[in-house]
Amino acid sequence: MSDDQGSPRVNSARLKNYLGAGHPVRVTGKVLNFSDDETHLLMEAPDGGKIKVLLPPPPQTHGVTDTFVEIVGTVVDASTIKHMVCINMGSDLDLNLVNQAIELSFDSKFRGRLF
Amino acid sequence: MTSDLSLSLISLSLTEGICQRLNSGDKDDESLWNSKPTLQFLSIKKVVASNNAGAPGNSNSVIDRYRIIISDGLHFLQAMLATQLNFLVEEDRVGKNTVAVIENMSCQHIMDKRLVILLGLKVLQRDVPKIGNPSPLNIPPPQPASAPGPAAPVSSSAAAAPQLESRPAMNRANPIYPIVALTPYQNNWRIKVRVVQKSDIRHYSNQRGEGRLFSVTLMDDSGEIKGTAWNTMVDELFERLQENRVYFVSKARVNLAKKKFSTVSNDYELSLDRGTEIEECHDVDVPVIRYNFVDLQGLQGLEKDAVCDVLVVVKDVGDLAEIMTRNNKMTQKRDLTVVDNTKFSSRLTLWGKQAEQFNSSSDSVIAFKGVRVSEYNGLSLSLLSSGSMAVDPDIPEAHALKGWFIDGGAKTSFQSHTQAGLSSGAGGPINRNEMRTILDVKEAQLGMSDKPDFFSMRATIMHIKTDNIMYPACPTPQCNKKVMETHDGWRCEKCDRSHEKPEYRYIISMAVGDYTSQIWLSGFNDIGNTLFGMTGNELRRLQEENEAKANYIMLNATCQPYNFTCRASQHSFNEQNRVRYGIQKMLPLDYRIEAQALADLLRSPWAQ
C-alpha cells in the first residue's frame, strides 16, 4: 500500500491529491447505482462523498457484483476515477471503519510503521 | 467487704441531691449515671415477677426481684435491684437501712417514668439508723392494676409496682441496644427487632449425630443479625417467631458468625437457646426493613456472587420448574424477568418455597432483599434462601418506580445483560481493557495462588487434541455424568438409571497462541459446539460414517482466532502442582467491533 508501488486507499476528499499521479488509487465504497447504459456507476466513498466511476466499454467487464466493492483506478478529476479492476467485498461492510483506517494510514505517526 | 468495725468509725454521708438528679436529670448524662453515690436503702421488698410472655419452656419462669427504696437523705426513690445481685439480699448482706456505694447503675424507661436499676454496689455498713428525713420522689399515683400479667403481691406503697409487674419481662437491667453493638463479651443487652425472614426447619446430621434447626434474620435500625434455634428450641420458637413481627430479644448467646452458612452482614450471630428471652412487642415505632438497592444497570459493576438488594418491576413470570440439584435433591425454581428504570432487564431466579408461593402478577413492583449476582448465562440474579421479597412496599423508591412504569416505562425496550454476555465481545464478559497477552498470563503466574484468577485474551487455535475429544454422558438435563455401557443400556450412577443412548459431550484440550506465547486451554461441551459447529453426537456420527470428513472438520477448526475469558486455577496431579486454564467463554471475533477497537486504540493517548 505504499505510494511508489501499489495503489493507496483513499476516500473522496483525498482523491484530488492524486490527480495526474501516474499510479492508480483504490476506493472502497458502496455501489449506489449504475448509469442506464452502464458507462459509469456512482458509488459512496468511505467519507460519504460521491464518486463517479467510469466503466470500461464492452467487451471488457467491470466485474461489479456485490454492494460493497473496492475499485482500483486512475484519477480523472476530483470526483471521478476510471475503473481498472474491481474487488467485490460482500454485502456488509462498515464504511465508517474503513474511513478510520484510511485516515489513520495518512497520519504521520503511523505512516511509515503501520502502513 | 471491709469489716463493720472499721466502718463504724467512718462517718457516713449520703450523696445528697442525687435522688433528685436521678429522677429528673438528663438520662443521657453519663457523668450522672457513672457517679457512684452513697445511698441508704430504706426498705427492701421482694417482688415475685413471673415472666408473662407466655414462653413455654423458658427456664427462668419465676424470678424474684427486689425493690429497694433508696435515699440520699433528702429524698427517697424507687429502685430495683438487678437480679444478679439478688444474692446480696438472700444472704443477708444488704437489708433495711444498709448504706452502700452504688458502683454501677442504669436507668430503665417504662412509659415515661424512670426506674433506677442497681447493677453493682459496695456495702459500706449495714444497719445504720435512718439518715435524714427524706421525702418521696417518683411515687406515681396509685394505678389500677391494668396489667395483662398476673398481679404480683406488692405490699409497699409504691404504686409504681403494678406498672412494673405488668411488664415484668421489661425489668431487664438494660436499655435497648442497637444490633451493631452486640458482642460476645457483654450479655446484658436487649434488642428490639423485626423478623424479616424465617427459614424452614432443616435437618442435619454430622459426626455428633442428627439435629434440627431454623434461623431467622432480625433487623433493627442499625443493622441485621441472624439468629438460630436448635433441636428442642426449634419446637418452642418456630411458631412464636413470625415473619414481620417485632420482638424484644435478650439473653441469647452472641457467637462469631459462620459466614459459610449465612449471608447476613454481621460478624456475629445469635444462638437462641434455653436462656433466651423473647417477647413480642406491640409498639408502633418499630424498625422497618432497610434496603440497599442497586439498580439493574449497576449490576455490571458488581462482582460475581455479590449480594445486594434490588427494587424492580416484574415483567414476566416463568413457570414453576423442577430441577435436580447437585446433591440429587429435587428443587423448584422459577425464573422472573425483571426491569427497572435504568432501562435494563435481568433474570431473577426464585427457589424452593419462594418459587412455589410466588403469586404476584407481572407489572408489580417488588423489593428483593438478599439477591446474589451470578454469571449463569450472562448476568442474572438469584434470590437467596435467606433473602426476602416485599410486594409493592410502602417506600418512596417503590412509588417512584411504579410511577415510571405506568408512565410509559413499561413500553421501553430493555437492554439485557444476558445479551451482552453472548454477543461477540461487545462488553459483557470480555473486558477489553484488561485483555492480556499469553506471555503476560504466564509471567504474571495467574492461577498460582489459592484462588482462581480470571482473565480475557484473544488467541488463535493452534492445535486441538483429537484423541479423547468427547465422552458419553447422561442425557438427563443438568446431569452430564459419564455413563458406562452395560448390558441394558448406558447407566448413570448419579441418576441411578440407564439410558438407551448417551449424549456425547465434548472435552476439549487445545493449544492456543498469540504473538507472544502459547498455552493449553481446556473446555467442555459449549466450546466444542462453537469450534466444530455441531454437537458431540453429530460429530461422532460423522466420525463413524465418514472419517475423512470428520477429520477435515476438526482440522478446519484450527487457525481461527477467538476472544476467550479464562479461569486459571491450580490443581495437583500426583503431587505436582499445575496451573490449568479453563475456558469460560469463547467468542468468535466480530471484525467490525475488533477493528473499531483497534482504531480507537490508535487514537487513544496510548498511541500518541
Same-domain status, B455 and B590? yes
List residues bridging with B216 in a β-sheet. B198, B227
- Reduced to 3 DSSP states, what percent helix, strand and coil does chain A have, rounded to the nearest 5? 25, 35, 45
pLDDT at A42: 92
Asked if the model's pLDDT at residue A4 lies above 60, the reply is no
ipTM of the complex: 0.71
User: Of B10 and B458, which is predicted with more confidence?
Assistant: B458
Which CATH number characterizes residue B254's domain? 2.40.50.140
Which of B589, B591, B592 to mutate: most A Cβ within 10 Å?
A: B592
Q: Out of A41-55, B44-58, B560-574, give the one with best mean pLDDT.
A: A41-55
Instruction: At A10, list the grid cell.
Output: 483513499
User: Of B92 and B299, which is predicted with more confidence?
Assistant: B92
Confidence of residue A69 (pLDDT cuts 50, 70, 90): very high
For A1, residues 6+ apart whose C-beta sits below 8 A from its C-beta are A7, A8, A9, A105, A115
Asked if the model's pLDDT at residue B168 lies above 60, the reply is no
pLDDT in tens, B350-359: 887 778 877 7
Q: Kindly state whether residue B497 falls inside one of the protein's structural domains.
A: no
**What's CA A22's distance to the chain center, in Å?**
16
Alpha-carbon distance of B122 to B1, in angstroms, equals 7
Q: What is the mean pLDDT of residues B493-500?
A: 82
Question: If 0-12 CB within 10 Å is exposed, 13-18 middle and 19+ buried, where does residue A49 land?
Answer: middle
For B207, residues 6+ apart whose C-beta sits below 8 A from its C-beta are none
Which residues span the domain enclosing A101?
A: 12-105
Which of A100, A106, A107, A111 to mutate: most B Cβ within 10 Å?
A: A100
pLDDT at B415: 61
The answer to whether A45 and A11 have CB atoms below 8 angstroms apart is yes
Question: How many other β-carbons are positioned within 10 Å of the β-carbon of residue B308?
Answer: 18
Same-domain status, B460 and B325? no
Interface membership of B595 toward A (CB under 8 Å): yes
Given an 8 Å threshold on Cβ–Cβ distance, is A101 in contact with B599?
A: yes
Same-domain status, B227 and B261? yes
Q: Do strands B484-486 and B415-416 pair parallel, antiparallel, or not at all (unpaired)? A: unpaired
Nearest partner of B455 among B563, B529, B372, judged by Cα = B563
Q: What is the mean pLDDT of residues B430-439?
A: 71
Asked if the model's pLDDT at residue B130 lies above 70, the reply is yes
Same-domain status, B334 and B438? no
Kind and range of the H or E run holding B198: strand B190-198
pLDDT in tens, B66-98: 888 888 888 888 888 888 888 888 888 888 888
Same-domain status, B577 and B440? yes
- Closest CA in chain B for residue A103: B599
pLDDT at B153: 39
pLDDT at A53: 92
Asked if the model's pLDDT at residue B413 lies above 70, the reply is no
Asked if the model's pLDDT at residue B27 lies above 70, the reply is no
Interface membership of B592 toward A (CB under 8 Å): yes
Confidence of residue B579 (pLDDT cuts 50, 70, 90): confident
The answer to whether A89 and A68 have CB atoms below 8 angstroms apart is yes
Q: Kindly state whether residue B338 falls inside one of the protein's structural domains.
A: yes
Kind and range of the H or E run holding B137: none
Interface membership of B606 toward A (CB under 8 Å): no
Q: Kindly state whether residue B289 falls inside one of the protein's structural domains.
A: no
Alpha-carbon distance of A92 to B476, in angstroms, equals 42
Asked if the model's pLDDT at residue B455 lies above 70, the reply is yes
Nearest partner of B418 among B409, B434, B429, judged by Cα = B429
pLDDT at B352: 78
Range name among B57-71, B99-113, B125-139, B208-222 with the lowest pLDDT average: B57-71
**What's CA B7's distance to the chain center, in Å?**
56
Asked if the model's pLDDT at residue A29 lies above 60, the reply is yes
Given an 8 Å threshold on Cβ–Cβ distance, is B596 in contact with A94?
A: yes
Which CATH number characterizes residue A77's domain? 2.40.50.140
Q: Kindly state whether residue A17 falls inside one of the protein's structural domains.
A: yes
Asked if the model's pLDDT at residue B10 lies above 60, the reply is no
Degrees to nearest 5, angle at CA B37 with B34 and B39 = 140
Same-domain status, B187 and B95? no
Q: Kindly state whether residue B20 falls inside one of the protein's structural domains.
A: yes
Question: Which residues of A fall within a CB distance of 8 Å from B595?
Answer: 94, 97, 101
Interface membership of B596 toward A (CB under 8 Å): yes
Q: Kindly state whether residue A3 falls inside one of the protein's structural domains.
A: no
Which residues span the domain enclosing B105?
A: 2-136
Alpha-carbon distance of B523 to B191, in angstroms, equals 52
Q: Kindly state whether residue A7 falls inside one of the protein's structural domains.
A: no
Last residue of a domain, one of B250, B280, B310: B280
User: Of B50 and A55, which is predicted with more confidence?
Assistant: A55
Alpha-carbon distance of B216 to B249, in angstroms, equals 12
Q: How many residues does chain B have?
A: 608
Choose among B595, B602, B608: nearest Cβ to A97.
B595
Q: How far is the CA of B351 from the CAs of A2, B315, B392, B464, in angstroms?
A: 64, 18, 21, 40
Q: Kindly state whether residue B157 falls inside one of the protein's structural domains.
A: no
Asked if the model's pLDDT at residue A50 lies above 80, the reply is yes
End-to-end CA separation in angstroms for chain B: 85
Range name among B240-254, B366-380, B539-553 with the lowest pLDDT average: B366-380
Same-domain status, B451 and B403? no
Average pLDDT along chain B:
77
Choose among A94, A97, A110: nearest Cβ to B602.
A110
Dihedral (CA of B147, B152, B155, B161) sign: negative
Q: Kindly state whether residue B464 falls inside one of the protein's structural domains.
A: yes
Asked if the model's pLDDT at residue B7 lies above 50, the reply is no
Q: What is the mean pLDDT of residues B188-214?
A: 85
List residues bridging with B21 in a β-sheet. none
Q: Kindly state whether residue B183 falls inside one of the protein's structural domains.
A: yes
Given an 8 Å threshold on Cβ–Cβ distance, is B592 in contact with A104?
A: no
Asked if the model's pLDDT at residue B29 lies above 80, the reply is no
Q: How far is the CA of A90 from the CAs of A1, A28, B308, in angstroms?
A: 21, 12, 48
DSSP secondary structure string for all residues of B498-541: EESSPEEEE-EEEEEE-SS-EEEEEE-HHHHHHHHSS-HHHHHH
Alpha-carbon distance of B82 to B106, in angstroms, equals 10
Interface membership of B323 toward A (CB under 8 Å): no
User: Of B479 and B276, which is predicted with more confidence?
Assistant: B276
pLDDT at A88: 92
Same-domain status, B263 and B401? no
Alpha-carbon distance of B190 to B179, in angstroms, equals 9
Q: Out of A78-87, B50-59, B193-202, give the one with best mean pLDDT.
A: A78-87
Asked if the model's pLDDT at residue B19 lies above 70, the reply is yes
Confidence of residue B604 (pLDDT cuts 50, 70, 90): confident
Average pLDDT along chain A:
85
Confidence of residue B58 (pLDDT cuts 50, 70, 90): very low
Q: Kindly state whether residue A113 falls inside one of the protein's structural domains.
A: no
pLDDT at B289: 65
Rounded to two decimals, the pTM is 0.40
List residues bridging with B70 in a β-sheet. B41, B77
The answer to whether A73 and A53 have CB atoms below 8 angstroms apart is yes
Number of domains present in the structure of chain A? 1
Interface membership of B597 toward A (CB under 8 Å): no
Same-domain status, B271 and B400? no
Which of A89, A97, A107 to mutate: most B Cβ within 10 Å?
A: A97
Q: What is the mean pLDDT of residues B210-222?
A: 85
The answer to whether B218 and B191 have CB atoms below 8 angstroms apart is yes
pLDDT at B163: 40
Asked if the model's pLDDT at residue A57 lies above 70, the reply is yes
The answer to whether B363 and B405 have CB atoms below 8 angstroms apart is yes
Question: Which residues of A fall within a CB distance of 8 Å from B593?
Answer: none
Q: Kindly state whether residue B163 falls inside one of the protein's structural domains.
A: no
Asked if the model's pLDDT at residue B565 lies above 80, the reply is yes
Q: Do strands A68-77 and A25-34 pair parallel, antiparallel, or not at all (unpaired)? A: antiparallel
pLDDT at B423: 31
Number of domains present in the structure of chain B? 4
pLDDT at B419: 36
Range name among B356-360, B426-430, B593-597 with the lowest pLDDT average: B426-430
Confidence of residue B285 (pLDDT cuts 50, 70, 90): low
Asked if the model's pLDDT at residue B282 lies above 80, the reply is no
Range name among B38-52, B390-404, B426-440, B591-605 with the lowest pLDDT average: B426-440
Choose among B592, B602, B603: nearest Cβ to A97.
B592
pLDDT at B326: 61
Choose among B599, B607, B608: nearest Cβ to A100.
B599
Degrees to nearest 5, angle at CA B269 with B266 and B274 = 160
pLDDT at B379: 65
DSSP secondary structure string for all residues of B453-513: EEEEEEEEEEEE--TT-EEEE--STTT--B-EEETTEEEETTTTEEESSPEEEE-EEEEEE
Which of B602, B603, B606 to mutate: most A Cβ within 10 Å?
A: B602
Q: What is the mean pLDDT of residues B508-536?
A: 88
Same-domain status, B465 and B363? no
Given an 8 Å threshold on Cβ–Cβ distance, is B602 in contact with A94?
A: no
Same-domain status, B442 and B577? yes
